[in-house]
Amino acid sequence: MAKYRDIADQIRGKIISGEYTVGTKLPYEYVLCVNYHCNKETMKKALDILVKEGLIIRRRGAGTFVKETMLQENINPQFERSLTMRVQGKKEVTSQVVTFEVIPADCFLAEKMQIEEGDFIYHIIRNRSLDGEPYVKEITYIPLRMVPNLKINVLRHSLYDYILNQLHLRIQSCHINITSAPSTAAERDFFGLQKGEPYIQEERITYLTTGSILEYCLSRYHYAHYEFSTILVNS
Amino acid sequence: MAKYRDIADQIRGKIISGEYTVGTKLPYEYVLCVNYHCNKETMKKALDILVKEGLIIRRRGAGTFVKETMLQENINPQFERSLTMRVQGKKEVTSQVVTFEVIPADCFLAEKMQIEEGDFIYHIIRNRSLDGEPYVKEITYIPLRMVPNLKINVLRHSLYDYILNQLHLRIQSCHINITSAPSTAAERDFFGLQKGEPYIQEERITYLTTGSILEYCLSRYHYAHYEFSTILVNS
DNA sequence: GAGTGGTCTAGACCACATC
DNA sequence: ATGTGGTCTAGACCACTCT
């Protein structure tokens, strides 16, 4: 663990516990460096993490301030939470595999996944529920070569768990696009939507640390059950 | 302009123009440092910008690679674009001011905006259209003290333009939450939605560089006309 | 002018990937 | 073993804010 991450964790903890209170100024850089036994650049890296998380604001010439915000909502807007762990609590996830086949990529998919048209890919459709409640319909495309021997049993549990822990692949980033469109019969059946009611779709392209595209995935939600949070920080 | 931003701009340009081609390796750090006349840490800062933008991937022990992606979509996922400039092109924005009043903050708003209950705030509702087409219904709350003398005429044009260019306030960050809910009569009238059809809402808390909250804003869109893109990068 | 953050450098050392 | 990125330091200098 890098020192600057350690320091960020410690300072984040002090903000959450109220030791550095909302709206007030943090000790300035030099004092923090002495307290945490590090160099100025290292402290800047640590504090920049908290800036990106939306917890603090730094102003040249003025100081570093804890942001006025409802803390509980804004802690840990980390990558992991945004991805596989978003749906948590003590709820049980069940997955009904609707479709599991290998098809050649058409023009559209080839472009999205940056592969050749005709390359073989898995086409997977799963209806996923939380404690028996319909939650998300996931349409997933994965190049065959990424996961050569995928079994249907894996799909019934966690595909991500298999890819991360069994195949030891690591995710680098996701490109996400959120839109909405009128439901088709398939969504209406699963979510109990009325004709004309839309679903919300999260389109996601997932990259591995190798730079390859792992999957192109469309996650469709009942409009009333979807939520997405993010923090945009200027420059 | 910082040197590392300059370098990032130059390298981004070379990726877009195809001088550094998709899927291939960039020169390694030492060569880049010599080419761009900078130190290793400065080059890292430059390349980290491009990592956050989703253009490249860096792998310790392996190298730096241009990401396999459809470039045109992913260039410049900057803050500005995500905020006021998102709606652009050559379309004309018109704003009908539905409500413009000063009210005391209730409990809910006081918590969202981190002010005292009873503090006076502007309550603004605007129906905004693009080239005459209904686009977004914006419900905005702004503490009175942030913009002491707001005129209705400003609301008919650009509130952001006024705040940024006339008052010289600068935005530091936005906390965004995207949800959907069944439309009320007000949304149905404006968007031409049917009863039971939902809108998509972008809830936004906007912070200034001072750390103060500028506004709490709910932007409601016709579900078929909303789109939100972002890139999540691991650690 | 004093206080405070931002950037840049040179150099050292570490950690991981690939062969 | 070698190549490549990641982290850390000490110190210099710059840029902005506040009063």
Dihedral sign, Cα of residue B107, residue B109, residue B111, residue B116: negative
Q: Is the CB of B59 under 7 A from strand D?
A: yes
Chain B residue numbers touching A26 (CB-CB < 8 A)? none
- Are B142 and A197 in contact by the 8 Å Cβ rule? The answer is no
Asked whether the beta carbons of residue A233 and residue B111 sit closer than 8 angstroms, the reply is no
Indicate yes or no: strand D within 7 A of the C-beta of B63: yes
Query: Which residues of chain A carry a pLDDT beneath 70?
Result: 23, 70-90
Q: How far is A224 from chain B (nearest CA, A)?
A: 6
Interatomic separation, CA of residue A21 and C1' of nucleotide C4, rounded (Å): 20
Within 7 Å: CB of B26 and strand D?
yes
Rg from Cα positions in chain A: 22
Position B194 pLDDT exceeds 50? yes
Question: How many residues would you count in chain B?
Answer: 235
Strand D nucleotides, any atom under 7 Å from protein beta carbons: they are 3-12, 15-18
Domains B3-74 and B81-225 share a fold: no
Q: What's the whole-model pTM score?
A: 0.91
> Which of B225 and B92 is assigned the larger pLDDT?
B225
Is residue B12 within a helix (H) or strand (E), and if so which, with residue range?
helix B3-17
Question: CA–C1' distance B211–C1 (Å)?
Answer: 26
Contact list in A for residue B176 (CB cut-off 8 A) is 229-232
Contacts of A204 in chain B (CB under 8 A): none
- Verify whether the Cβ–Cβ distance B68 to A233 is below 8 Å: no
Burial class (CB in 10 A: 0-12, 13-18, 19+), A4: buried
Asked if B227 and A83 come within 8 Å (Cβ–Cβ), the reply is no
The confidence score (pLDDT) of residue A79 equals: 56
Residue B59 has which token pair?
């792998």
Provide the residue type at B197 as one letter: E
- Residue B64 CA to nucleotide D18 C1', Å? 43
Residue at minimal CA–C1' distance from D7? A2
User: Across the interface, do B67 and A211 touch by the CB < 8 Å criterion?
Assistant: yes
A233 has which bridge partners?
A: B173
d(CA A25, CA A63): 7
The C1' atom of D11 and the CA atom of A158 lie apart, in whole Å, by 52
CA of B165 to C1' of C16 (A): 49
Separation in Å, CA B204 to CA B77, B99, B220, B230: 18, 19, 11, 15
Q: Torsions phi, psi of B82, nearest 5?
A: -75, -10
What confidence score (pLDDT) does residue A148 get? Answer: 84
Taking only the tens place, the pLDDT of each residue in B134-175 is 999 999 999 999 998 899 998 888 888 888 888 889 999 999
pLDDT value at residue A82: 45
Predicted local confidence at residue A81, as pLDDT: 44
pLDDT attached to residue A214 = 94
Gap from A112 CA to chain B (nearest CA, Å): 7
pLDDT at residue A91, as a whole number: 75
Residue B87 has a pLDDT of 52
B103 touches strand D (CB under 7 A): no
**Segment B41-61 mean pLDDT:** 94
Tokens of A52: 């990106």
- Averaged pLDDT of chain B: 88
**Cβ neighbours of residue B6 closer than 8 Å, sequence gap 6 or more:** none
Residues in contact with A92: Cβ distance below 8 Å, sequence separation at least 6, in sequence order: A130, A131
Whole-number pLDDT of residue B38: 95
Give, in order, the Cα–Cα distances in Å from B79 to each of B4, B133, B171: 18, 26, 10
Q: Quick one: pLDDT band at residue B119, thresholds 50, 70, 90?
A: very high
Sequence ranges of the domains in chain B: 3-74, 81-225
Q: Give the residue from A180, A213, A235 with the most B CB atoms within 10 Å of its CB, the best one to mutate.
A: A180
Chain A's closest residue to B173, CA to CA, is A233
CB distance B68–A223 less than 8 Å? no
Phi first, then psi: what are they for A112, rounded to 5°? -60, -40
Q: CA of A29 to nearest chain B CA: how many angstroms apart?
A: 18
Q: Is the pLDDT of residue B24 over 90?
A: no
Amino acid A161: pLDDT: 86
CATH, domain range A81-225: 3.40.1410.10
Q: Which class is A3-72 in CATH?
A: mainly alpha
pLDDT of residue A48: 95
Cβ neighbors of A196 (< 8 A, separation 6 or more) are A182, B194, B196, B197
Residue A100 to residues A14, A159, A217, B106, B183, Cα–Cα distance (Å): 48, 13, 14, 52, 37
B3-74 CATH choice from 3.30.420.40, 3.40.470.10, 3.30.1180.20, 1.10.10.10: 1.10.10.10
